[in-house]
Structure 1
Amino acid sequence: MSQVVNPVDREEAARRAAEELLKPGYEKESLFDQLYRRFNQFVGDLTDAVTGGGSTGGVIAAVVITLIILGVIALVAWRLRGAARRNAMAAGGLYGERVLDAAEHRRAAERLAAEGDWSEAIRERLRAIARDLEERALVDGMPGRTADELAAEAGAALPGFAAELAAAARSFDDVSYGGVPGTQAAYQAMSGLDDRLRQARPVPLAMAGGPS
């Protein structure tokens, strides 16, 4: 004769779940696991409401579940976009992880040039240009700045150097991301631009804006 299994009501299920959580294995449960478990329990409660809460309750529960799922998807997508943007900024950033002043970047560039490492010397020289402009408050100290962003902002403050700054940014990008090897001529052009920029003064606002 087969054994009849009595269904477990919600109160009994909750009691059993509480007893399960009191076991030693749950003492070390991570915060993520706790949140994930509680979320699943919440969705399960709503699902029960869909199947046993009547037509009106079922529709409301279904709408709530849909909104929760859409919210989770939106949150995950937002976090992924933010992470992708931070990675892109880090990959295309001008400075990398080191924090040096203009003089330190300049000395590093000269040492690398003496060793014949023209690609890295070009990168360090543009970093020296960027730091020098920041230290003179000609451009903002923007984290994650790219070479193109530097050229655009510095070109607005020093319009006479705009074309050369844009060319320097292209040279930096070429050796950093385009697989183009640096050359002595490219480094010398960057070095000469650095020297002249150190003597340059920004155009007064009245002149930059043209005649009123």
Structure 2
Amino acid sequence: MIRPGGATHTVLLRPFTDDEPPVTIPRDPAREAAERELSDPRYHQNDPNLLERALDRLWEWIGDLFSAASGAAPGGALGLVVIVIVVLLLVAALWWRLGAPRRSPTTSPHLFDDRPRSAAEHRASAEAHAAAQRWNQAVQEQMRAIVRSLEERALLDERPGRTADEAAADAGRTLPDHAPQLVDAARSFDDVTYGGRTADESAYARLADLDRDLERTRPALGAAAQGAAE
């Protein structure tokens, strides 16, 4: 070797001889030694944890799925995006048109499910709920006040276990001019009682107005007699 300034330095390496072959390690012990070395925690300090590995696998699967779908869709990835947007718009349109899915009834379908109360008591209860802005309960009590009032006036027969729909249908035959409003009132009662819907002030106001209107209504004698007979 030539050093700066022209000086030289020679390094002598002792060569292997036939009497001293290179040191070798058998395959199995070498593998075991390498595994022991790699199992040292120092080599795994920055490895991803179980959650990170699972998320990596998930994203890989989503990427593969998207790639396969874009390859099958007309127009490739852009076509797939358009299809997804169209599907989302259809779902939104159906949701807006049909409303939230209704839950299965969880209570008795009977209109009255507690001790008998007068129409005045039901009205007072409805007004108290309305004052507290508990519109669901206000709608329920107002519908009960309407039906009880018709029973007290003998425009409806007192029938245990009657539903709101049955009461509206029976009262509509006695008071045909108010049949559509009675059906709407029964539907509002069913929506908040069994359908999982939420009432508002306007829903309560419609039933309260109907109740006052029915109080002022005097049915024809023929219609009243026919309703009592049925």
Question: 1:1-212 alignment to 2 at 5 Å?
Answer: 91-205=108-222
**1:207/1:134 CA distance change after superposition, 3 Å:** closer
1:96: how far off?
1.2
Contact 1:159–1:203 at 8 Å: present in 2 too? no
Size of the aligned set, in residue pairs, is 121
Return structure 1 stretches of 4+ with deviation > 6 angstroms. 206-209
TM-score (norm 1): 0.54
**1:132/1:207 CA distance change after superposition, 3 Å:** closer
Farther off after superposition, 157-166 or 195-204:
195-204
TM-score (norm 2): 0.50
Contact 2:151–2:158 at 8 Å: present in 1 too? yes
Structure 1 residue ranges without an equivalent (≥5):
1-87
1:146: how far off?
0.3
For 1:105, give the aligned amino acid: H
* Root-mean-square deviation (Å): 2.0
Percent identical among aligned pairs is 50
**Which protein is bigger by CA-based radius of gyration?**
2
Distance in 1, Cα, partners of 2:149 & 2:198? 25
1:202: how far off?
1.4
Aligned to 2:108, what secondary structure does the other structure show?
Answer: helix
1:98: how far off?
2.8
1:155: how far off?
0.5
Distance in 2, Cα, partners of 1:161 & 1:141? 20
